[in-house]
Structure 1
Amino acid sequence: MEEKKLDVKTIFGFVLIAGLMIWMMFNNISKEKEAMAEDAKKAKTEKIEKAKEQAVAAVVNDSTQTDSLKVKALQGSLGAFAYSAALPSAKDNVTEIKNELVTLKIANKGGYIVDAKVNNFEQFHKGSGKPVQIIKDNNANLNIQFQTKDNRVLNTKDMYFEPTVTKEGANQVVTMRLKAGENQFLEYRYVLKPNEYMMDFGIRTQGLNEVVNTSKPLDLDWQLKAYRNEKSISYENRYTDVRYEYEEGKDNSLSQTSKLDEETVEGLTYVAFKQDLFTSILLTETPIKGAQLKSENLVNDEEKDTVYTKNFAAKLPLEFKNGELNYAMNWYYGPADYKILNSYDKNLDEVMPLGWGIFGWINRYVFIPAYGFLSGFLPHGIAIVIFTMLVRLVMSPVTYKSYLSQAKMKVLRPEIAELNEKFGKDPMKKQQETMKLYGKAGVNPMAGCLPAVMQIPVFYALFQFFPSMFDLRQKSFLWAEDLSSYDSILELPFNIPFYGSHVSLFPILASIAIFFYMKMTTGDQQMSAPQQEGMPDMGKIMKVMLYVSPIMMLFFFNNYASGLSLYYFISNTITIGIMLVIKNYIVDEKKIHAKIQENKTKDKPQSKFQKKMQEMMEQAEAQKKAKK
């Protein structure tokens, strides 16, 4: 047998592949070494910082040393700020302020809020006894990192502020000062007013231009790891995101679904860490240049990741003016309630995902006032039912127009079928004759589409409306204990992908209602609209959608707010009733047929659209003959 010899090209190919594999192997090893070195460096830095922190804490808590000895011992680590660490207030104490709506605790260490409770609201289930807390157990921090003139890098979150509690009329005032001397300090000032979720917050310095490097802005880092507060973590996480205002009134948000999303924003005037139905918002009167915002999704497995939803971070550069900082700000901790946020007249209603353009307009000026009026004297479940009836009543003329168009097309079907048979081999001629028939009969084939298009803004606005209605939270109706969450009637011992581990009843009822609604409309459309040559068979598509749409709704809405599912169930049921009334008592197909026949005897001028279509068809026909 003759041996096969490898040619030069084959050998070269093998060598090239081997070389590539070796390069990839070494490259991966190099990257792994770099990553390990970076991790080791980070761990070493954290270890050093931890050791410094422990050393400072040891000196601060040493009751045997005098203040002067403490200052001397701490100067090596803190420089001029050893003065603050040696004060009697340098302890891990907190100062509590509260009003009827919120309870806040501010720590000496770091000078920031370490506990924020929204009074009168509970987690998950009403009666659970667990209060809604936006901040607790070190899930948030506020830090300013600065460089001193003797080249030390210090973080305010690790240093001790001196608290002072005063009153300004009915307002509670907490002043936290990080001191480098008696008249040299960084100050956080909190002012809580009665019956307000919004408080005043100020940052200023005095005399620190002699201690701190003021040649570049200081970064204010605000970080919050969002706690879960609602029954469905997947639904809550869907509406948990970073929202912000910039450039004098523009608004935007980071991605709700991405694993990680970051953005650099110019002219920032507020940033909101929105946690579905609650939110914390930091506002500034002086626009922030080059603000860096970040959102990280923490829910990888809904069965395991059940405590936190997202990790938020905002880095806000604070600029010196005449060697000092002076920023007037506000801080909001409370419900993500449209009425409350809108009352502050600071564009905070944009924190609510009410939709853009016409969708948001419908929600703000029609649906929210209408539903607010009804829920003012009716239980929320009944208010949703009445609200739905009103919406369907207002939209009933559109439903009538749509059904009337379908009835006209149904009457014309036999004649259209004749044209299809007569001109089956000449699609252009068939289309021309079909358009002539429509023109003589006074029928617009697009009339059935326009009503459906008109309903889209209402449909989408309502889809945004219900998840944004804070008033539905923990309000019960029938078997649903919370209209802002799912209405579970059965807990499953297993999890179904994309569905969940429970069965909600309102989505089942809504799916059944939409099935019968589509069955009614699909049947009429199939009867009225013959298939056009070269076009997809709409009859088959509608048959598939008849079964796919209810199943999609069943899966999609199983974890959604039961108030939204209740709306769709009532809405589709009412629409079915309206269509039955129109079909049996208002629209008479015999009268429509007689009217169409009468229209055919009249010389009705063509519309501009019909003339244009006729000209286009005639030109196409002429080109076709010319080619032949």
Structure 2
Amino acid sequence: MEEKKFDFNSFIGMLLLGGILLWWLNTNKPETETEQQNTTQTEQTSTTTPDTPAIVSNDTIANDSLKQIALKNKLGAFALSAIQGKEGETVIENELVQLTVSNKGGQITKALIKNYKTYDSLPLYVIKDKNASFNINFGTTDNRILNTEDLLFSPTQTKNGENTVLSMKLKVSDTQFLEYRYEIKPNDYRIGFAIRSQGLSNVINNSQQINLNWDLKALRKEKSMRTENMYTYYYYKEDGDVEYLQMKDDEVANDVEWVAYKQHFFSAALLTDTPFTDAKLKSIDFLGEEKDSLFTKTFALNTPLNLQNGELNYNMEWYYGPTDYNLLKTYEGTDLKQISDLGWGIFGFLNRTVFYPVFNMLKGFLGNYGIIIILMTIVVRIILSPVLYKSYLSSAKMKVIRPEMEEINKKYPGKENAMKRQQEIMAVQRKAGVSMMSGCIPALLQMPVFFALFKFFPTNIDFRQKAFLWANDLSSYDIIAKLPIKIPFYGDHISLFPILASIAIFFYMKMNQSQQSAMQAPPQEGMPDMSKMMKYMIYFSPIMMLFFFNNYASGLSLYYFISNLLTITIMFVIKNYVIDETKIHAQIEENKKKPVKKSKFRERLDAAMKQAQEQQEAQKRATQKKKK
């Protein structure tokens, strides 16, 4: 057998082949995790130069595509607005009001009224913390129902002269969009507002109703929530007349030119050049007792919007500002001044034509509003002093002839002589030139003034947060002490001005008691004694005033306190220095000598009384015959 020999050349070849294999394996080994991260960072750094676009992973592209598909399925033609839109807010403002408008919904999310504070010295917002919403609900031609409050608008802010313009667009494309256009002017609470669409005639379904919804939960702003709620109403102008929601909490109105969510001293209003039709108006009262410390009432407007040639085109106006009669009356042609609530009929007439002009004149040169109230009270009392004089003169005449009327009562006693007794008393009064109505008429003439001022002081924003003596706000109640418990109908505090007003009215009624007794005829058989009722009223009226006014405007209590003091003073002067009972008695005696010419009304009344008396006597004779 042949022996194998060692081949040195083959061995060298194998070593070279193995070395080449080891080199190849070493230079092509898999990267470690660190090396992979470094390589990725190097690639990203090298590919984000200005000349080279960044590389996006396939997963990112897939996710974005899926998102766009989902938005397209949900929003249809308006998906572009959601894809390109961004969350954010834009602030527009002037010297009086600041508005914050959100990209989401294109709506106002904050409305700050500058130069005013809440009762607890915080910035005064009409809209804040999602207490309001503005939305347009509409259908599309691809059978979708959309709400603008859920969609993203694109903001563009520009200048139009001195005005700031904010355009919020909900885009289908650059040439197709729904736009909210806000325009704010210098030194004005009114903000121009327009709703317009462009190129959407084939996008918006005109066979479905388009609805505008504006809701607001009214934020509490005043110390007395009860009083604030009392003067909070939903006003609207329908077919040329200003109305408000009364006991019903909802209403359907046509040809609505504006709606106003009016609180005690501040209001939010939406005015439109194109009146709303079939507008649903709603108001809900939050207040039973003072449980809710944030809101007073909630307001809602739901109204259809009409398309013109397939497009929306509404010119409107927002108002966020004070419910100030002097300001609102300058907005001619709107009738917004009527939301100031000056009273109806004669009461509103007196406030507009007498009390506001007098007040405006006084505040032109006086800065202390407590002094203005006192001066207004003096003016009112001087104007009404002739009425007070007439009342006292009548009582003085009645006092002079009272002995004669008492003699008639004695001469004709009993129920059977009631008619004759009344005829004789009226004859005495007629000869003396006295009428029972002469005492009532002066009191009736003062009633319109009383009720007009009852509206004037609590609703005049100029008195809001104006201090006088111990009262820090003449539009609300004053406090000199807090009570540990809440007394029904009175409250949890003690106000001093109502106490002073009640004391003054007590002494006024006490002083007036003799006058009222003189005005009354002597009590007749079967008739109530009015003098006893007057005694009870002397105590009852001040107590009622004390309870009622404890939670009311201190400015009004101040007025009644000063008014009663002045009335007492005027009555004292008239009684002691103006009226002379001796002269009055002499004049009455002269009048008795003169023939009294009866009016036709008096003749008919006397004839009727005579006929009634004859019928009474006939019945009496018939009854006596039956007894026989």
Task: Give TM class, smaller chain.
Answer: 0.7 to 0.9
How far apart, in 2, do the equivalents of 1:447 and 1:163 lie?
71
417, 434, 438: which one pairs with 2:425?
A: 434
585, 594, 601: which one pairs with 1:602?
A: 594
Q: Which residue of 2 aligns with 1:400?
A: 389
Q: Which residue of 2 aligns with 1:445?
A: 436
Q: Which residue of 2 aligns with 1:480?
A: 471
**Percent identical:** 55
Q: Which residue of 1 aligns with 2:93?
A: 98
**Mapping 1:357-368, distance limit 5 Å:** 357-368=345-356
Instruction: Find out whether 1:184 has 2:173 as its counterpart.
Output: no
331, 354, 359: which one pairs with 1:344?
A: 331
How far apart, in 1, do the equivalents of 2:424 and 2:177 lie?
87
Q: Deviations over 1:49-95 (max 9, x none)?
A: xxxxxxxxxxxxx99888765432212222222121111x331x111
Deviation at 1:485, TM superposition (A): 0.9
Instruction: Find out whether 1:463 has 2:460 as its counterpart.
Output: no
Q: Which residue of 2 aligns with 1:288?
A: 276
**Mapping 1:559-578, distance limit 5 Å:** 559-578=551-570
Q: Is the 8 A contact 1:226 1:308 kept in 2?
A: yes
Q: Is the 8 A contact 2:139 2:208 kept in 1?
A: no
Q: Is the 8 A contact 2:396 2:518 kept in 1?
A: no
Deviation at 1:613, TM superposition (A): 1.8
Q: Report the residue type matching 1:449 in the other structure.
A: C
State the structure with more CA Rg.
Answer: 2
Deviation at 1:309, TM superposition (A): 0.6
Give the gaps of 5 or more residues in structure 2: 1-58, 623-628
Shifted more, 534-543 versus 135-144: the winner is: 534-543
Q: Is the 8 A contact 1:67 1:86 kept in 2?
A: no
Deviation at 1:336, TM superposition (A): 0.7
Deviation at 1:188, TM superposition (A): 1.0
How far apart, in 2, do the equivalents of 1:245 and 1:290 lie?
13
Shifted more, 184-193 versus 532-541: the winner is: 532-541
How far apart, in 2, do the equivalents of 1:405 and 1:65 lie?
99
Q: Is the 8 A contact 1:147 1:154 kept in 2?
A: yes
Q: Which residue of 1 aligns with 2:545?
A: 553
Q: Report the residue type matching 2:377 in the other structure.
A: T
**Mapping 1:144-543, distance limit 5 Å:** 144-248=136-240, 250-255=241-246, 261-302=249-290, 304-345=291-332, 346-378=334-366, 379-425=368-414, 426-529=417-520, 530-543=522-535
Deviation at 1:590, TM superposition (A): 1.8
How far apart, in 2, do the equivalents of 1:63 and 1:163 lie?
28
How far apart, in 2, do the equivalents of 1:502 and 1:64 lie?
69
Deviation at 1:624, TM superposition (A): 2.2
Q: Is the 8 A contact 2:439 2:519 kept in 1?
A: no
Deviation at 1:533, TM superposition (A): 4.4
Q: Report the residue type matching 2:102 in the other structure.
A: A
Q: SS at 2:249's partner residue?
A: strand
Q: Is the 8 A contact 1:499 1:556 kept in 2?
A: yes
How far apart, in 2, do the equivalents of 1:80 and 1:270 lie?
33
Deviation at 1:159, TM superposition (A): 1.3
- Specify whether residues 439 and 501 from structure 1 end up closer, same or farther in structure 2 by C-alpha distance, changes over 3 A only: same
Q: Deviations over 1:85-116 (max 9, x none)?
A: 111x331x111011110111000111110000
Q: SS at 1:361's partner residue?
A: helix
Q: Deviations over 1:210-254 (max 9, x none)?
A: 122213542211111011111111111111111111112x11112
How far apart, in 1, do the equivalents of 2:191 and 2:487 lie?
45
How far apart, in 2, do the equivalents of 1:120 and 1:585 lie?
52
Deviation at 1:536, TM superposition (A): 3.5
- Specify whether residues 65 and 207 from structure 1 end up closer, same or farther in structure 2 by C-alpha distance, changes over 3 A only: farther
How far apart, in 1, do the equivalents of 2:529 and 2:236 lie?
47
How far apart, in 2, do the equivalents of 1:326 and 1:424 lie?
84
- Specify whether residues 603 and 100 from structure 1 end up closer, same or farther in structure 2 by C-alpha distance, changes over 3 A only: same
Q: Is the 8 A contact 1:139 1:224 kept in 2?
A: yes
Give the gaps of 5 or more residues in structure 1: 1-61
Q: Report the residue type matching 1:497 in the other structure.
A: P
Q: Report the residue type matching 1:110 in the other structure.
A: G
Q: SS at 2:513's partner residue?
A: helix
Deviation at 1:134, TM superposition (A): 0.5
Instruction: Find out whether 1:624 has 2:601 as its counterpart.
Output: no
How far apart, in 2, do the equivalents of 1:63 and 1:199 lie?
44
Q: Report the residue type matching 2:411 in the other structure.
A: K
Q: SS at 1:387's partner residue?
A: helix
Q: Which residue of 1 aligns with 2:53?
A: none
Q: SS at 1:354's partner residue?
A: coil
How far apart, in 1, do the equivalents of 2:175 and 2:537 lie?
74
69, 72, 77: which one pairs with 2:74?
A: 77
Q: Which residue of 1 aligns with 2:42?
A: none
Deviation at 1:413, TM superposition (A): 1.4
Q: Is the 8 A contact 2:369 2:463 kept in 1?
A: yes
- Specify whether residues 216 and 578 from structure 1 end up closer, same or farther in structure 2 by C-alpha distance, changes over 3 A only: farther
Q: Is the 8 A contact 2:138 2:208 kept in 1?
A: no
Q: Is the 8 A contact 1:411 1:528 kept in 2?
A: no
TM-score, L = length of structure 2: 0.86
- Specify whether residues 342 and 77 from structure 1 end up closer, same or farther in structure 2 by C-alpha distance, changes over 3 A only: same
TM-score, L = length of structure 1: 0.86
Q: Which residue of 2 aligns with 1:51?
A: none
Q: Is the 8 A contact 2:465 2:474 kept in 1?
A: yes
Q: Is the 8 A contact 1:217 1:320 kept in 2?
A: no
Q: Which residue of 1 aligns with 2:36?
A: none
- Specify whether residues 205 and 615 from structure 1 end up closer, same or farther in structure 2 by C-alpha distance, changes over 3 A only: same
Q: Report the residue type matching 1:224 in the other structure.
A: L
Instruction: Find out whether 1:589 has 2:584 as its counterpart.
Output: no
- Specify whether residues 83 and 622 from structure 1 end up closer, same or farther in structure 2 by C-alpha distance, changes over 3 A only: same
Shifted more, 489-498 versus 603-612: the winner is: 603-612
How far apart, in 1, do the equivalents of 2:201 and 2:140 lie?
9
How far apart, in 2, do the equivalents of 1:63 and 1:455 lie?
82
In angstroms, what is the RMSD of aligned CA positions? 1.7
Q: Is the 8 A contact 1:484 1:563 kept in 2?
A: yes
Q: Report the residue type matching 1:82 in the other structure.
A: A
Deviation at 1:308, TM superposition (A): 0.8
Deviation at 1:184, TM superposition (A): 2.3
- Specify whether residues 319 and 217 from structure 1 end up closer, same or farther in structure 2 by C-alpha distance, changes over 3 A only: farther
